[in-house]
């Protein structure tokens, strides 16, 4: 084996960052207790060296923070991606917004949302007159939509797809029956890339795990060479992970995330 190949092999076996979704990947719904298996695995890995944990979520920072407190999680993330596009550095369980990124993100979204004003009326009229879905306030979007069921969400998505072709930098972000709107170039994958680049962590050293459609942008080998999903992931996510050589766990939520972690990155003591 050449020196270059040896270096590449060593790099690929060295985990330095795990990036996970939160709901459905680490935690069950609020009324169910949290599994501590993920935190046990993270603590075990950190006994062998530093491993960053990034939570990449559609929640607001404040909502996630309050949930972490309420669930009394033993280890907090090092970084939080909120609303699928804001970046927060966490120190002593307090978040510090990554000012340059977040300010640029805020300005671009404000300009974009203002520029597509005619679109909002079309979508509102369709939702009100042709669906049973709800229009709701969303912290990161001019419109939030909650469909009445998955089938209706599919119909809403099919309606909006041709409309969005006229606005190439606007995208509808879907998570199950929920929709919000965002700038095309700000998503979970772009945020993961920004954080890892700032820390000089290579894609070969990153494991990304998610369960739903809004996780698809980060489940990309450009950002994390090692990809996985728990057994409760939706079909589109499982297909994306498999197509890139990733691991689809049999277990669900945190247990599935740990199953994938152990498969792709066994603890050094287990080698």
Q: Which residue has tokens 């489940």?
A: 219
The per-residue pLDDT for range 27-86, each reduced to its tens digit, is 987 777 788 999 999 999 999 889 999 999 999 999 999 999 999 999 999 999 999 999
Q: How far is residue 254's CA from residue 193's CA, in Å, rounded to a whole number?
A: 23
Residue 232 in tokens: 């409760």
Q: How far is residue 228's CA from residue 261's CA, in Å, rounded to a whole number?
A: 8
How much is the pLDDT for 33?
Answer: 78
6: helix, strand or coil: helix
Contacts (Cβ under 8 Å, ≥6 apart) of 80? 54, 55, 57, 61, 64, 87, 88, 90, 95
Q: What is the pTM of this model?
A: 0.89
Q: How far is residue 65's CA from residue 69's CA, in Å, rounded to a whole number?
A: 6
Q: Which residues of the chain have pLDDT under 70?
A: 1-13, 269-271
């Amino acid at each position: 084996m050449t020196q270059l190949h040896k270096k590449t092999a060593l790099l690929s076996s060295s985990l330095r960052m795990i990036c996970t979704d939160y709901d459905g990947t680490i935690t069950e719904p609020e009324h169910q207790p949290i599994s501590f298996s993920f935190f046990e695995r993270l603590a075990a890995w950190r006994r062998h060296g530093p491993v960053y944990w990034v939570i990449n979520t559609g929640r607001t920072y404040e909502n996630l923070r309050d949930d972490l407190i309420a669930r009394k999680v033993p280890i907090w993330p090092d970084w939080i991606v909120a609303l699928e596009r804001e970046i927060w550095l966490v120190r002593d369980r307090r978040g510090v917004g990554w000012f340059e990124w977040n300010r640029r993100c805020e300005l671009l979204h404000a300009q974009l949302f203002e520029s597509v004003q005619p679109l909002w009326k079309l979508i509102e009229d369709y939702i009100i007159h042709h669906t049973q879905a709800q229009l709701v306030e969303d912290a990161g979007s001019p419109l939030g939509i909650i469909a009445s069921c998955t089938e209706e969400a599919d119909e809403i998505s099919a309606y909006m797809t041709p409309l969005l072709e006229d606005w190439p930098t606007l995208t509808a972000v879907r998570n199950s029956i929920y929709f919000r709107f965002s700038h095309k170039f700000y998503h979970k994958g772009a945020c993961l890339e920004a954080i890892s680049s700032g820390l000089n962590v290579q894609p070969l050293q990153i494991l990304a795990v998610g369960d739903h459609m809004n996780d698809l942008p980060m489940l990309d080998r450009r950002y994390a060479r090692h990809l996985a999903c728990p057994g409760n992931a939706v079909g589109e996510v499982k297909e994306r992970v498999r197509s890139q050589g990733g691991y689809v766990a049999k277990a669900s939520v945190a247990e599935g995330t740990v199953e994938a972690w152990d498969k792709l990155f066994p603890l050094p003591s287990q080698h």
